[in-house]
Amino acid sequence: MALPDYIRVTQGTAIVWGEAGASGVTATCSLDALANGAARQGASVDLGSSFARRYAVYLHVETGTAPTAGTTVDAYLICSRNNTDWPAKVTGSDGSYTLGTSDANLKQAGPPVISLIATNDSNTVLIQPPVIWEPAGRYVTCIIDNNLGQAFRDETTATDNGSRLILVPLPDTSEDT
Amino acid sequence: MLTAEQDAVIYAAIHADPTIESFARVGNDSEVAARLNSQTVTVYRRISTGQVRLWSAVRGLRQKLEDLAINGTNGKQSMALVFCDAMQSGDSHFELLPEVLAMIDRMVTDGVFTADDKANLLARAAEQIGLAESLVGQAVTIDDIGRILYVDRPNGKIPKVI
């Protein structure tokens, strides 16, 4: 059997956490009107029994009142091998996330996978450039921690909120010429 | 980090001010913190002893206080001694404790100082500090505000305005 000539990367179907029913959202993490100093956890996603080694992670945050430039929204990705045993007190279901005394719960989640650095813009979807992340388990969920000093935009219709955490699989494919 | 008691004081202060409360309601925690830290409260905590000496000279009170410190009656002697001691001490500052402020009021009542003398002295001691500092002894951070207002935000979200 001939060895492949090239290993290429393809872009798979995105997993999108955001408001249930909002455009493009595939997993719920209700981010509309998320208050400063509060965090939200998303519904768990099954990456499949065979999943990509690398994923691109994008963070979009829709501001309401303009935040102070340089403040952050921090996103964490948490993996589980069985969708039952979750670290950092996440549950695998969409809901508020208790940061814990001195943010101890959140610290157990490890460092953020991506942090959005805010600019001083109101009513704007801010987008952080993607980072590459490798999952450590088949099941994954997210925590979004708002440190903007402002709430996320409170849309009249929550599903209009443009805040999203997007996970794009980047599977390797081999190519023979 | 603030204590639970200090959190409760700040929480009450936020809800006691309609303007600050309006920012809290829409989740603008940075503005809430800025308003609580804005230097709008005048306090009289201490005054340099040099300012006390200058004040007594400018207002023509030094000799009067020294005479009272020797011959004063009805408590005036004790109160005059407080000021004389402050002027003569090697301390850099004179603490304007509540008891001292009460003495100043008493000296006005007794006709030793005029109301203008008192105002002149306090003007030299006036400091502008934030409401938070005046209530809990320190400024508040945006993180403090997020934590303190969490109880008003079911599931960590600001309530919808219907």
Where in the sequence is the domain holding B139, given as residue range(s)? Answer: 4-38+131-156
The pLDDT value given to residue A175: 86
Same domain, B19 and B95: no
Same domain, B147 and B108: no
Q: Which residue has the tokens 């006005």?
A: B108
| pLDDT confidence band for A77 (50 / 70 / 90) | very high
The pLDDT value given to residue A56: 98
Same domain, B112 and B138: no
Instruction: Give yes or no for a contact between A1 and A167, defined as CB atoms under 8 angstroms apart.
Output: no
Q: What is the pLDDT of residues A143-157, one digit of tens each?
A: 999 999 999 999 999
Number of other CB atoms surrounding residue B42 within 10 Å: 13
B33 touches chain A (CB under 8 A): yes
Rounded to the nearest angstrom, the minimum Cα separation between A51 and chain B is 32
Report CB contact under 8 Å: B30, A38.
no
Instruction: Give yes or no for a contact between A22 and A161, defined as CB atoms under 8 angstroms apart.
Output: yes
Looking at this predicted complex, what is its ipTM?
0.86
Show the domains of chain A with their CATH numbers: 14-172 (2.60.120)
CA-based nearest residue in chain A for residue B144: A37
B146 touches chain A (CB under 8 A): yes
Distance CA A29, CA A44 (A): 10
User: What are the structure tokens assigned to B116, written together?
Assistant: 């203008």
Would B161 be classed as within a structural domain? no
Same domain, B50 and B106: yes
CA-based nearest residue in chain A for residue B27: A151
Count how many domains chain B has.
2
A28 touches chain B (CB under 8 A): no
Same domain, B57 and B124: yes
Q: What is the pLDDT of residues A94-111, one digit of tens each?
A: 999 999 988 999 999 999
Rounded to the nearest angstrom, the minimum Cα separation between A35 and chain B is 5
Same domain, B63 and B108: yes
Same domain, B23 and B49: no
Same domain, B109 and B150: no
User: Which of A15, A67, A9, A24 shows the shortest CA–CA distance to A44?
Assistant: A15
Would B162 be classed as within a structural domain? no
CA B94 to chain centre: 15
Rounded to the nearest angstrom, the minimum Cα separation between A95 and chain B is 7
Q: A15-18 and A27-28: which strand pairing? A: parallel
Q: What is the pLDDT of residues B110-161, one digit of tens each?
A: 999 999 999 999 999 999 999 999 999 999 999 999 999 999 998 999 987 6
Same domain, B62 and B107: yes
